[in-house]
């Protein structure tokens, strides 16, 4: 079979890709057929963290489904950063935004936690997962971040996997500057970043967090950051200090020259 | 005069604050009266970079105006970071977002530049300035960022103030990791950060930029970042490495305990 043209879309598929044929569910079939207006024979890419990325060709559409013939491998699976974002949820538009940006910045897991001053009571986990998948599709990631079930902060801390260190972004000034502390404590191994709600952490919450053996408190500087900005700033800084000697981005699907 | 109650709003006022009485324009008067529903006698804060921040009391409203009696000084003027964001404009919702976040992250100037792959042709400078002012009001800044008139990239470089260094965020891998390069070149003095459009810089643009004596190319790591994410990540990392040994944020207007 000839190379056969440009890749028209990039799709996260959780199932194994090391198969001759894949079936897509109704939303994906709809997306390819009615949003991108692709026909039988069009080429797409499919990917997941376990198998890497493959080219595939649309075999056919039916009512609520689409089948793909899997073709050549385009990228091998590669290690990604093991970094969670644990954050107090915020209003819906900003929440989507945090998930999108955190995905681009390489988080492997996202855990919404309810703190004393958290003003949001309900989280649509499925929606957040879809936002993460879309961001992974757009940003050439091979994995999509896992969204953990929302929990109260103290419950999350009670069942915390203690081998994972937790960077507490403390806007009250209780931690040293992030760029001084992180190189000192070292960034190897699994980490998570914890940021608070718009109202900040309560004093008692900060006191309890600082007592935990896996917590490292830091400050993000002298500026007042919104909750979403603080989460993204902390992630960007962490990645720059920890993982970013690994090279430059993969060639972009949307790249121009 | 007694202390007289909580501050209900924080307003950027460009005029001198070292006066007994201030007049506000129609949009501000409308905001205080009809959005916040404040009455005569309510307390607000007014600020700018030159004078710092003062408490003020609403004296009265008229058709399209409001007068304030200036009361005690709340904060003295303080040095802020001299850091510009120079960026290829993007679609409107993301553009507002970049200006909001860049303001929180402490930029003093924002300069939209048109590159070869920039898909946005028109910029509403006045709207961006208002977005910057709102973000300054929300984030306890004493200044609002200046928005410079949009210009083609080569024209902007031709009139560049050469004492200001320019950090080129090169997603093609042409620069070393930002967290290695910045400490090596030093971050003192005026700086600017330059990020490209969704399509990336053109090869010829990158080649020309790298020839300029004030340019330092860096990479933001192995991940593919959207244009807005790249701008915010670069600002957050720069501030963490450059200016953030200055302390913790001022007490928040909206702070809870």
What is the least distance, in Å, from the CA of A63 to any CA of chain B? 34
Q: What is the ipTM of this complex?
A: 0.90
pLDDT tens-digit map of A216-239: 999 999 899 999 999 999 999 999
Closest-CA distance, B175 to chain A, in angstroms, reads 9
**Has residue B256 got a pLDDT over 50?**
no
- Residue A242: closest C-alpha in chain B: B179
| CB count in 10 Å sphere of residue A125 | 14
Helix and strand tally (H, E) in chain B?
Answer: 7, 13
DSSP track, A142-175: SS-PEEPPPEEHHHHHHT--TTSEEEEE-TTS-S
pLDDT interval class at A61 (50, 70, 90): very high
All residues of chain A having their beta carbon less than 8 Å from the beta carbon of residue B226 are 104, 138-139
Q: pLDDT for B122-161, tens place per residue?
A: 899 999 999 999 999 999 999 999 999 999 999 999 999 9
Q: Which residues of A touch B199 (CB under 8 A)?
A: 254-256
Percent of chain A at pLDDT > 70 equals: 93
Closest CA of chain B from A48, distance in Å:
16
Q: Which of B138, B140, B178 sits opposite A240 (nearest CB)?
A: B178
Tokens of A227: 């909750």
| Interchain pair A139, B225: CB under 8 A | yes
Look at phi and psi of residue B253 and say left if phi exceeds 0, alpha if psi is from -120 to 50, else beta.
alpha
CA distance B129 to B125: 6
Q: What is the pLDDT of residues B57-110, one digit of tens each?
A: 999 998 889 999 999 999 999 988 899 999 999 888 889 999 999 999 999 999
Residue in B203, B248, B257 nearest the CB of A222: B248
* Cβ–Cβ gap B101/A252 under 8 Å: no
Identify the band that residue A2 occupies on the pLDDT scale cut at 50, 70 and 90: very low
Task: Write out chain A residues lying below 8 Å of B234, CB-based.
Answer: 236
pLDDT at B257: 38
pLDDT at residue A143 tops 70: yes
Overall average pLDDT of the A210-215 stretch? 97
**Per-residue pLDDT reduced to its tens digit, A102-137:** 999 999 999 999 999 998 888 999 999 999 999 999
Q: Could you say which of A117, A171, A202 has the minimum Cβ distance to residue B249?
A: A171
Q: Which chain A residues are closer than 8 Å to B241 by Cβ?
A: 179
What pLDDT is recorded for position B249? 66
- Pairs of residues, one from chain A and one from chain B, whose beta carbons lie less than 8 Å apart: 168
Q: How many CA atoms lie within 13 A of A43 on its CB side?
A: 13
Q: Can you tell me the distance from the alpha carbon of B125 to that of B116, in angstroms, rounded to the nearest whole number?
A: 20
Burial tier of B21 (Cβ tally within 10 Å: 0-12, 13-18, 19+): exposed
Mean pLDDT computed over A143-164: 96
Cβ contact, residue pair A97, B97, below 8 Å: yes
Q: What pTM was computed for the model?
A: 0.91
The string of pLDDT tens digits covering residues B108-122 is 999 999 999 998 888
Distance between B104 CA and the closest CA of chain A, angstroms: 6
CB contact under 8 A, A222 and B200: no
Return the DSSP state at B27.
H
Mean pLDDT of B172-177: 88
On the question of pLDDT at B245 being above 90, the answer is: no
H or E stretch including B86? strand B83-87
- Asked whether residue A100 carries a pLDDT value surpassing 90, the answer given is yes
A225–B180 C-beta distance less than 8 A: no
pLDDT of residue B103: 98
A252: nearest CA in chain B? B224
B190-218 tens-digit pLDDT: 999 999 998 899 999 999 999 999 999 99
Measure in Å the smallest separation between the Cα of A200 and chain B Cα atoms.
7
Domains of chain B listed by start with CATH number: 7-75 (2.40.240.20), 83-242 (3.40.1280.10)
Place A254 in a pLDDT band, splitting at 50, 70 and 90: very low
Q: What are the structure tokens assigned to A29, written together?
A: 């079939």
Looking at chain A, which residue has its C-alpha nearest residue B248?
A222
Residue A250 clears pLDDT 90, i.e. is over it = no
| pLDDT surpassing 70 at residue A251 | no
Q: What is the pLDDT of residues B91-102, one digit of tens each?
A: 888 899 999 999
- Return the residue in A217, A229, A251 with the most chain B beta carbons within 10 A, the one to mutate for interface testing: A229
Query: What percent of chain A is predicted at pLDDT more than 90?
Result: 81
Residue of B nearest to A218 (CA): B248
Measured between CA atoms, the residue of chain B closest to residue A236 is: B233
Read off the pLDDT band of A243 (50, 70, 90).
low
pLDDT, tens digit, for every residue of A159-209? 999 999 999 999 888 889 999 999 999 999 999 999 999 889 999 999 999
Q: How far is CA A233 from CA A140, A236, B104, in A?
A: 21, 5, 11
Q: How far is A180 from chain B (nearest CA, A)?
A: 9
Q: What is the per-residue pLDDT for B92?
A: 81
Structure tokens, B212: 């300029």
- Give the minimum alpha-carbon distance from B2 to chain A in angstroms, rounded to a whole number: 28
Q: Looking at beta carbons, which residues of chain B come within 8 Å of A256?
A: 117, 199-200, 202
The answer to whether residues A44 and A58 touch, using CB atoms and an 8 Å cutoff, is yes
Residue B251 pLDDT class (50, 70, 90 cuts): low
pLDDT at residue A27 greater than cutoff 70:
yes
Q: What percent of chain B has pLDDT over 70?
A: 93
Task: Return the structure tokens found at A60.
Answer: 């056919």
For residue A217, what are the β-bridge partners? A168
């Amino acid at each position: 079979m000839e190379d056969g043209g440009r890749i028209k879309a990039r799709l996260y598929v959780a199932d194994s890709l090391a198969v001759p044929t894949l079936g897509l569910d109704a939303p994906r079939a709809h997306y390819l057929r009615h949003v991108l207006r692709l026909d039988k024979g069009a080429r797409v890419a499919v990917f997941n963290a376990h198998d890497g990325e493959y080219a595939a060709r649309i075999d056919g559409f039916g009512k609520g489904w689409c089948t793909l013939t899997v073709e050549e491998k385009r990228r091998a699976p590669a290690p990604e950063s093991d970094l969670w974002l644990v954050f107090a949820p915020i209003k819906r538009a900003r929440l989507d935004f945090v998930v999108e940006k955190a995905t681009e910045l390489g988080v492997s897991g996202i855990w919404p936690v309810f703190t004393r001053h958290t003003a949001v009571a309900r989280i649509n986990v499925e929606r957040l997962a879809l936002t993460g998948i879309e961001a992974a599709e757009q940003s050439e990631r091979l994995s999509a971040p896992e969204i953990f079930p929302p929990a109260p902060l103290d419950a999350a801390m009670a069942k915390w996997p203690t081998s994972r260190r937790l960077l507490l972004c403390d806007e009250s000034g209780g931690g040293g500057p992030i760029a001084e502390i992180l190189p000192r404590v070292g960034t190897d191994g699994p980490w998570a970043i914890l940021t608070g709600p718009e109202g900040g952490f309560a004093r008692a919450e900060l006191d309890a967090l600082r007592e935990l053996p896996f917590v490292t408190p830091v400050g993000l500087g002298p500026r007042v950051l919104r909750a979403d900005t603080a989460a993204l700033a902390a992630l960007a800084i962490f990645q720059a200090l920890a993982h970013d000697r690994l090279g430059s981005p993969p060639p972009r699907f949307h790249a121009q020259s």
